[in-house]
Amino acid sequence: MKTNTLGSTGLMVSELCVGTLPMGPLQTDVPPEKGADLLLKAMESGVNFFDTAQMYRTYHYLKKALRQFGKDVIIVSKSTAADYKGMEDAITEALKELGRDFVDIFLLHAARSDGTLFEKRAGAVEALLKAKEQGRIRFAGVSTHHTGLVSRAAGVPEMDVVFPLINKLGLGILGGGLPEMLKSIEEVSKSGKGLYAMKVLSGGYLVSDMLDSINYVRAIPGMQAVSVGVVTMEELDLQLRIFNDEKIDPASLAGLKSNKQLKIIPFLCNSCGTCAKNCPNGAISMIEKVPEGKSDPAAPRRLIPVPDPAKCVLCGYCTPACPEFAMRLK
């Protein structure tokens, strides 16, 4: 497995970063043993870079796999915490749940935030820097879908690593489109910061074009690693082949498709709009309509959340926000 130096951190990371979001309860909810076996296989195959987050609730998979592997790897976690205490608690939780003395990289989890993030979450930034000083984390950074925040992070000395959304179609990018995100990524690369990519398959929409989609992002100047979520051994084997540059017939991938779907259970939905407010990509609109399952056109109409397939990247961030558990990503 090819490795690259992650910016000025000095960390040597595998080009494939295994993302744990899809295996957790926000998406497929893979059983603990199965998830740990998957991560262990990745470790044994040369992957040493793993992405998780407080929100994902996937620490237990990594802890179990690491116990069996017996060697250290590089772990990134992140938190949406906005203040000092919230971020401090998030770091403490990660250390406890992972069974480690430090987390290699801890990020501000800020999917939809723009370049004003560092002022708005000054307390959280302070907590990250304090934890770095204490050796509880080694490096700090930011994770975002927004071009403005990527550009801003390039000029913030305290941010060691930047984790932007990027894919060949520009799906899910905020604050502009693909050209703007590529320009922002160039700024980060020139700044010498660590740089790795997310949502290269746009939550599954580009699975049938997997080879070209992954290689498109791998070829972006300065891109040091690519995070891809996996939930089966078959998916992992394919990712390993791609990142090991083994010969793959693109035609063999044409029939692949993602089975993930965002489903809304009408009778549980209370029309509060919390899902729309928490969607990082503005992909959910509240539209007045007759609820699903009501055939009578005279039935009372109410606001119903409707996802926009052109904007939704199937991240699952809306599901924990719903107070009625009416949003399901399966």
Residue of 225, 199, 224, 223 lying closest to 213 (CA atoms)? 199
pLDDT tens for residues 176-201? 999 999 999 999 999 999 999 999 99
Burial bucket for residue 48 (CB in 10 Å: 0-12, 13-18, 19+):
buried
What is the mean predicted confidence (pLDDT) over 60-84? Answer: 97
CATH number belonging to the domain at 3-253, selected among 3.20.20.100, 3.30.70.1060, 3.40.50.300, 3.40.190.10: 3.20.20.100
Kindly report the number of other CB atoms within 10 A of residue 86's CB atom.
17
Query: Counting beta carbons within 10 angstroms of the beta carbon of residue 101, is it exposed (0 to 12), middle (13 to 18) or buried (19 or more)?
Result: exposed
Quote the tokens at residue 241: 């082949």
Distances (CA, A) of 264 to 224, 228, 270, 312: 37, 26, 11, 14
- Rounded to whole angstroms, the Cα distance separating 264 from 245 reads 40
Residue 304 has pLDDT above 90, yes or no: no
Query: Contact at 8 Å (CB) between 109 and 140?
Result: no
Give residue-wise pLDDT tens across range 234-288: 999 999 999 999 998 877 776 666 666 777 777 678 888 888 888 877 888 888 8
Look at 77 and 269; give whichever has higher pLDDT: 77
Separation CA 96–CA 77 (nearest Å): 13
Domain ranges of the chain: 3-253, 261-330
Find the mean pLDDT for residues 20-37: 93
| pLDDT value of position 104 | 98
Q: What is the CATH number assigned to the segment(s) 261-330? A: 3.30.70.3270
Higher-pLDDT residue of 303 and 49 is 49
Percent of the chain residues past pLDDT 90, beyond the cut: 69
User: Residue range 101-110: average pLDDT?
Assistant: 97
* Token output for 8: 């000025």
Euclidean distance between CA atoms 304 and 290, whole angstroms: 8
Separation of alpha carbons 47 and 16, rounded Å: 6
Residue 252 backbone phi and psi in degrees, to 5: -70, -15
Query: Which band of pLDDT confidence, cut at 50, 70 and 90, is reported for residue 67?
Result: very high
Find the DSSP H helices in the chain: 32-44, 59-69, 84-98, 117-120, 122-134, 147-154, 178-191, 210-218, 233-243, 274-278
Residue 28 is predicted with a pLDDT of: 87
Q: What's 281's DSSP letter?
A: T
Range with lowest mean pLDDT among 39-48, 145-154, 204-213, 249-258? 249-258
Place of tokens 């002022």: 119
